[in-house]
Structure 1
Amino acid sequence: MEQFSNRVEREMLEFKAREERMGILFPSDDVKDSPLLSEKVKHFAYLLSKFKATENPDELYLLKRIQIEKEKLEKVLYPNRFVHLLRKTFHILTAEDRHSASFQKKSLKSREKLFDAVQSAGFKIPREKMLQELESGRDRFTVLVSNYENEKEHMDHQLLFVKDISGGYSFEGFKTSLHYESSSESFREHFFGNVPTSYNTREAYHLLSGRAVEKDGSYIQLDLNDRNAEGSYRIKEFRSDYGFDLKNAIERLPLKDKNADKIDELEKALRNGEAVTAVLEVKEREYSFTLTANPQFKTVDIYDGNLKKINLSALRGRNIKNEKQKTGAAKKNVRQKNKRAVRIQ
């Protein structure tokens, strides 16, 4: 995509393109009509105010040309010499001040909204870096951010910003790659757009790790075996009417700590997509496992220290079997001791 270093030229071309589109939609409009010429004069005044502090030679030259064109249009709009001079000495000056103040206010509000959106998504970008990109005037730009989740995983983010028709910028979302230090070729990548649902960096990490995250009453999960044409994963959504009751699934677990507050903390963490460590009691023995929510199968998954999935029923069965084996071995030892005792006698 072509990028202009001359910001004034960019905005002039955008205005011209907008005029041409309006001409197609409203072919009966006469560009010489006073209301349309007035809007053009206002736009020229806006550009003169917006870029009056520029030091770019090309922009300065174009601003001079805009000033000349603006004066020509004003003579057409106000042919009476007295009215024209009066307006030029009074009304135009105050109008330009209003345009300048209005632009500064809108620009500041738009930028603060943009900074808030970026921070809400969990990104810490130096304000100076963002301002530098915003001042570039490009149609779109990306900001790169990287961070380590732990000693084995790191994430690379590409934040996308797009210029809208008013000249302001919006935060469209971010493309995130989850990399594993154990393999230079092993990574997962997905674009998290802000429409219809916005995401933050923590949610992106959990989703790329294969876990489900609750958003607006539904559970969202990425299908890591299915990608779309853009290379992002297909999204699986499990709405409330799907029937997954996380609280009930947790209550079925043989948790050692059944304190109500602890249960609520566990439920909240699982809803957020966390992998939570918890202690389970099976046949009077304690096991430390990692738990994750599995809305598709309406359960809570259990993993051991090697991230191997554990079947709770099988675990209980193995313990029963182990107890029987221990009991049988104990009885055998008693019989052998009795035999040896008889032999000694």
Structure 2
Amino acid sequence: MNNEVHTNRLESEIAGWNSKEDRLKKLFKSSSSLENSLLKEKLRFYESILLKYKNTNQLDERTALQIIRNERNTLIKKIYPDRFRQYFYKLLSKFVVERINAQKESREELKSNQLLADNLERAGFKDAYNKVDRYMRLGQDKFTVPISYYLNEHDQMNHSLHFIKNEQGHYDFKGFNSNLHHQNANNENRQYYFNVDEVKAFNSEQAYELLSGRAVLTAGTWKQLDFNQKGVDSNYQLKEFHESYGFNIEKSVSELFLKTSDQSEINSLIDSLKEGRREAVTLTKEGKECKVYIEANPQNKCLNIYNENLRKVTIESLFRVKRDVPLKLQSSLKSQDNKVKSKCRKI
């Protein structure tokens, strides 16, 4: 399939020139200078094709370029019958072509490196560019750059950034593999490979959230790793919950008894939850405050709530009246307490 695409690419350019040549012949068929002008224009076209595709690795294109190279030499002899002029043209052409080629290569390299830097920044690896640049200077066809750091005393993230040299001799960022090592009793490890398409949707921070089991909202769809299923590539399957699934995070947050009523703070909280983060909030009800952690749970269309010990709880359990003492006794004790306070005030 790739060979077909590349062959069609070169064939398309040649077909375009042939069509242009036919139109010019019909348009200027009575011109005496037409043939010589067309030959010179055709020579320039051949030179540009040879320059443009000189680094191709495709066999069909290399064969086509050899034919064009022979045709170019035939044209030079036809346009410049004198051998000295042929030699002068080739010498001048080589000098000009090399200069143009050097300038073009420099521009393309700068453009390619900037694109690579932008892709790395978007993926959350902005600080890795200098390290990547050192690898690029080695000129290998492909290479992998390791990135490792701790997020807290228990969680360590290890990334492997993958790069491959393209046909133009520049490097493309092909994706990254992320491994989350959680230092608990089981020393749990989870990993996932984000391919070139997924790199556009997820960054390194979101990779951590996904590997931690949380859901991330991207392009209007909630996505979450399924740790019970793997595909043929040994990657965890991605569960998707589209807008039509019915999870409304704004509504879920509004149903919490948040202490804050500042809408900008609430909006920031919602945005953070959409990124897959677990956020600390304070809930208040009937004068009682509770500090908890919350995270999005699109599959169950709700928010997961954890206490300060990161144990899953419910709103009801947080604000439930304790049953250790019977309600009537609680009321009696409260009445007695009020009487004591009343006497104290009189004294």
State the TM-score bracket (shorter-chain normalisation): 0.7 to 0.9
TM-superposition CA deviations, 1:9-65 (whole Å, max 9, x none): xxxxxxxx979x849x98xx9xxxx89985785379779xxxxxxxxxxxxxxxxxx
TM-superposition CA deviations, 1:208-259 (whole Å, max 9, x none): 1111111111111111222223222111111122211111111111122222
1:287 corresponding residue in structure 2: 290
Q: Distance in 1 between matches of 2:230 and 2:98?
A: 52
Q: Distance in 2 between matches of 1:131 and 1:333?
A: 72
1:64 corresponding residue in structure 2: none
Q: Is the 8 A contact 2:290 2:318 kept in 1?
A: no
Q: How does 1:255-334 map to 2 (within 5 A)?
A: 255-316=258-319, 319-322=320-323, 325=326, 327-328=328-329, 331=332
TM-superposition CA deviations, 1:265-318 (whole Å, max 9, x none): 2111111111111111245321111000111111111011222111223444xx
Letter in 2 for 1:78: I
- Cα shift at 1:136: 3.0
TM-score by length of 2: 0.72
TM-superposition CA deviations, 1:149-195 (whole Å, max 9, x none): 11111100000112223332211211000111235741110012231
1:237 and 2:235 equivalent? no
Q: Is the 8 A contact 2:292 2:307 kept in 1?
A: yes
Q: How does 1:64-213 map to 2 (within 5 A)?
A: 78-79=76-77, 80=81, 81-125=83-127, 127-183=129-185, 185-195=187-197, 197-213=200-216
TM-superposition CA deviations, 1:130-151 (whole Å, max 9, x none): 2232233333211100111111
Letter in 2 for 1:198: A
1:248 and 2:257 equivalent? no
TM-score by length of 1: 0.72
1:66 corresponding residue in structure 2: none
Q: Is the 8 A contact 1:152 1:180 kept in 2?
A: yes
Letter in 1 for 2:76: Y
Distance 1:198 1:169, change over 3 A: farther
Letter in 2 for 1:260: Q
Q: Is the 8 A contact 1:41 1:74 kept in 2?
A: no
Return 36-45 or 301-310, whichever deviates more. 36-45
Distance 1:95 1:184, change over 3 A: farther
Q: Distance in 2 between matches of 1:88 and 1:156?
A: 54
Gaps of 5+ in 2: 15-42, 57-67, 337-347
Letter in 2 for 1:250: V
- Cα shift at 1:323: 8.4
Q: Distance in 2 between matches of 1:251 and 1:18?
A: 56
Q: Distance in 2 between matches of 1:301 and 1:232?
A: 25
- Cα shift at 1:206: 0.8
TM-superposition CA deviations, 1:191-211 (whole Å, max 9, x none): 122315432111111111111
Q: Distance in 1 between matches of 2:331 and 2:288?
A: 19
Q: Is the 8 A contact 1:174 1:191 kept in 2?
A: yes
Q: Is the 8 A contact 1:152 1:182 kept in 2?
A: yes
Distance 1:264 1:133, change over 3 A: same
Q: Distance in 1 between matches of 2:108 and 2:316?
A: 62
Letter in 2 for 1:212: A
- Cα shift at 1:90: 2.0
Q: Give percent identity, aligned residues only.
A: 29
Q: Distance in 1 between matches of 2:90 and 2:270?
A: 68
- Kindly tell me the number of residue pairs found equivalent between the two proteins: 289
Q: Distance in 2 between matches of 1:279 and 1:298?
A: 21
Q: How does 1:10-89 map to 2 (within 5 A)?
A: 22=7, 42=51, 78-79=76-77, 80=81, 81-89=83-91
For residue 187 of structure 1, give the secondary structure of its aligned residue in structure 2. strand
Letter in 2 for 1:91: S
Q: Is the 8 A contact 1:46 1:99 kept in 2?
A: no
Q: Is the 8 A contact 1:45 1:96 kept in 2?
A: no
Q: Distance in 2 between matches of 1:285 and 1:43?
A: 73
Distance 1:73 1:82, change over 3 A: farther
Q: Is the 8 A contact 1:75 1:84 kept in 2?
A: no
- Cα shift at 1:78: 3.0
